[in-house]
Amino acid sequence: MMNPRRKKRLTWVMLLVVGVSVAIGLMLFAMSQSINLFYTPSDFVEVEEGKQPPTVGQRMRVGGMVVEGSVKRNRDTLEVRFNITDTGPEITVLYQGILPDLFREGQGIVAQGELIEPRVLRASEVLAKHDEEYMPPELAEKMKGIKHVNPNAPDAFKQTSDGESQ
């Protein structure tokens, strides 16, 4: 037979273990709901191994280059619609607000928001890269061999057919 004092201690230890387990479970659930995964437009078509395909309603970050001629602004509101691309497919981004000063067509951006259709993101934040050389590492990996060149830049380099710069 178990001593009443030991029985009381065992009950408290068990309650403590269950309480800590529930707290850890709730924290992990809350963290999984707030994770913003990074995608490129190609990820919407070609899903990499080990990465979940994007689903409608998911919060995410999408990075790419703003497609030339795709920026459409609503004259009455601050709503802007534009497309971004990396190496092929395009994703439409809807944004309500003032865009960063460095935002322009042909520029690299990262948009954070919620996927409202399979290829439409309602952005809550749009970030433009801060200089011509910076690119998020995930996007740089996707766009290996493709380099955005500003034709107005004085030191614009030429690219040979095999992708090497001169």
Q: What is the dihedral of CA 129, 134, 136, 142, to 10 degrees?
A: 110
Q: How confident is the model at residue 15 (pLDDT cuts 50, 70, 90)?
A: very high
Residue 106 has pLDDT above 60, yes or no: yes
Q: What is the mean pLDDT of residues 16-38?
A: 84
pLDDT at 163: 45
If you average pLDDT over residues 28-57, what whole number do you get?
A: 75
Q: What is the pLDDT of residues 86-99, one digit of tens each?
A: 877 899 999 999 88
pLDDT, tens digit (0-9, with 9 covering 90-100), for 112-133 = 999 998 889 999 999 987 655 5
Contact (Cβ atoms closer than 8 angstroms) between residue 134 and residue 143:
no
- DSSP string for 9-51: HHHHHHHHHHHHHHHHHHHHHHHHHH--EEE-GGGGTSPPTTS
Supply the CATH classification number for the domain 37-142: 2.40.50.140
d(CA 57, CA 165): 41
Domain boundaries, the chain: 1-34, 37-142
Tokens 């998020």, residue located:
136
Task: Tell me what pLDDT residue 11 has.
Answer: 93
Residue of 75 and 146 predicted with greater confidence? 75
Within 10 angstroms of residue 48's Cβ, the number of other Cβ atoms is 12
Taking only the tens place, the pLDDT of each residue in 51-89 is 677 788 888 888 889 999 999 998 888 899 999 998 778
Give CA torsion, residues 57, 70, 47, 59, to 10 deg. -20
